[in-house]
Structure 1
Amino acid sequence: MKNNQVKYAVIVAGGSGVRMGGEVAKQFLPIGGLPVLMHTLQVFYDYDTDLNLILVLPNSQFDYWEKLCVEYNFNVPHQLIQGGASRFGSVKNGLNSIPDNEAGLVAIHDGVRPFVSEKVIHESYLTAAKEGSAIAVVDLKDSIRKVKANGSSQFKNRDEFRLVQTPQTFQLARIKSAFLTEEKPYFTDDATVYENMGWEVRLIMGNRENIKLTTPEDLSYASFLLAEKGKII
């Protein structure tokens, strides 16, 4: 199926960097000579230069981000949108910045996942165009057990579970409709908001390198990945 629909990508970056142990928010920490967030925006731009990129940040970080863009001569075109009080609110603000009469597809992606592959991005748009949604996941490698309230545990078949990543890509009209609901505690990602409408979530295979940079160890791994790709500046 050939897909000529208008494509958006909402990149959400609202982390405080607490688990990184520093004062600088994790999305701004440098890897390979550039802040993490610039690597993330770049991979979507490299996939499709006509992609409409929407970056959602806390309002308090706007000035800092704009200074970084000047400092690093970062010219990837994007629209800057103020984040909300939660991830749900931030995604909703990003979606609301898209005109209501606009048709097309939107990928929602964590700003601190800079190693998503262009192949996964492409497959997410392709599948969402056909099925309504496309959620990137990877298989579990380790055995898993369910911990019970009394401290005991029970074996679970890992083949029945997947680790969820982003992008999570949707037909635009559907996901905007889904985000009209009130935020609920079990909305852990965009797929659960979509599923809340009674719609089936479609899974696609992600790439294992597409980790969410959260701890100092993740930054070390990120530097290793960039060195392998020859992108250390």
Structure 2
Amino acid sequence: MQKAAVLVAGGRGTRMGAPISKQYLPIAGLPILMHTLSVFHQVDSAIELILVIPKDDFAYWNELCEKFQFQIPHQLVAGGNSRFQSVKNGISAISFEEGLVAIHDGVRPFVNESVIQESFEKAAEKGSAVAVIALKDSIRKLTDDGKNFYQERQYFRLVQTPQTFDLKRIRKAFQVTELPQFTDDATVYEHQGWEVTLISGNPENIKITTPEDMDYAEYLAERKNGR
């Protein structure tokens, strides 16, 4: 079965406060996106890699690839005005009609290879596979009238990526008008009435967003490299 991965990094990352967008910041000497592309390539070198970034960044990205001699094959696709539009652009660019696609945040470079592999296997069986992890902290629900209530944390999961789907289904799902409740790809898929299948993610698979995340990312990279 043919496989693709759409790595989404269409935003500007303003919360990082850096002079360049967060997806291009270096971790262990390489831009974040190169780490993310590499882990998918390591799982299966035949995966069709689609990288979604702002159109204005294409030249800069190509310069980075030349600078770091980054040669993993991938296709650049222009991002849209929202994550929904960026993902839609990415899955539309896949060269085949039938198969599987993993949709992944480009700034989650520490996803385990085993999670990616399981996501493809489960999506092939069930049509979808969404990586999640259990909550460690207690949680409370806030109400509009200012009250709050205890919630049983065992009934909740934190959602990560990859979110992997049957390609035909997810393409159909993204043909609808964008809605506010579409907070990730699973909610778009679910809007069609299809059940979302969950798999275990890995806690290190953080979405790098703030300067504090960069400090932790450097630690994770050092640990991964055995230093």
Task: Give the alignment's TM-score, normalised by structure 2.
Answer: 0.98
Distance 2:56 2:226 in 1: 30
Does residue 208 in structure 1 map to residue 208 in structure 2?
no
Provide, for residues 94-149 of structure 1, a one-character-per-residue CA deviation record: whole Å limited to 9, x for no partner: 111124x6210000000000000000000000000000000000000000000112
Distance 2:145 2:192 in 1: 34
Structure 1 stretches of 4+ with a deviation exceeding 4 A read none
| 2:53 equivalent among 50, 57, 67 | 57
Does residue 25 in structure 1 map to residue 21 in structure 2?
yes
Distance 1:9 1:18 in 2: 25
Does residue 187 in structure 1 map to residue 182 in structure 2?
yes
Alignment correspondent of 1:171:
166
Matches within 5 A, 1:56-135: 56-99=52-95, 102-135=97-130
- CA displacement at 1:164 relative to structure 2: 0.1
Matches within 5 A, 1:129-144: 129-144=124-139
What SS class does the counterpart of residue 146 from structure 1 fall into? Answer: strand
Report the residue type matching 1:98 in the other structure: I
Distance 2:194 2:8 in 1: 23
Alignment correspondent of 2:8:
12
Kindly indicate whether the alpha-carbon contact (under 8 Å) linking 1:17 and 1:23 is maintained by their aligned counterparts in 2. Answer: no
Alignment correspondent of 2:44:
48
Kindly indicate whether the alpha-carbon contact (under 8 Å) linking 2:11 and 2:54 is maintained by their aligned counterparts in 1. Answer: no
Report the residue type matching 1:52 in the other structure: E
In angstroms, what is the RMSD of aligned CA positions?
A: 1.0
- CA displacement at 1:229 relative to structure 2: 1.4
Q: What 5-or-longer segments of structure 2 have no aligned partner?
A: none
Kindly indicate whether the alpha-carbon contact (under 8 Å) linking 2:50 and 2:94 is maintained by their aligned counterparts in 1. Answer: no
Report the residue type matching 1:19 in the other structure: R
Does residue 228 in structure 1 map to residue 223 in structure 2?
yes
Report the residue type matching 1:162 in the other structure: R
Identity of aligned residues (%): 59
- CA displacement at 1:150 relative to structure 2: 2.3
Kindly indicate whether the alpha-carbon contact (under 8 Å) linking 1:32 and 1:231 is maintained by their aligned counterparts in 2. Answer: no
**Count of residue pairs brought into register by the alignment:** 227
What SS class does the counterpart of residue 85 from structure 1 fall into? Answer: coil
Provide, for residues 29-82 of structure 1, a one-character-per-residue CA deviation record: whole Å limited to 9, x for no partner: 001000000000000001111110000111011111000000111001001111
- CA displacement at 1:14 relative to structure 2: 1.5
Report the residue type matching 2:152 in the other structure: N
Report the residue type matching 1:170 in the other structure: F
- CA displacement at 1:231 relative to structure 2: 6.6
Does residue 37 in structure 1 map to residue 33 in structure 2?
yes
- CA displacement at 1:7 relative to structure 2: 0.3
Alpha-carbon spacing, 1:104–1:48, altered in 2? closer, same or farther (3 Å): same
Distance 1:230 1:200 in 2: 38
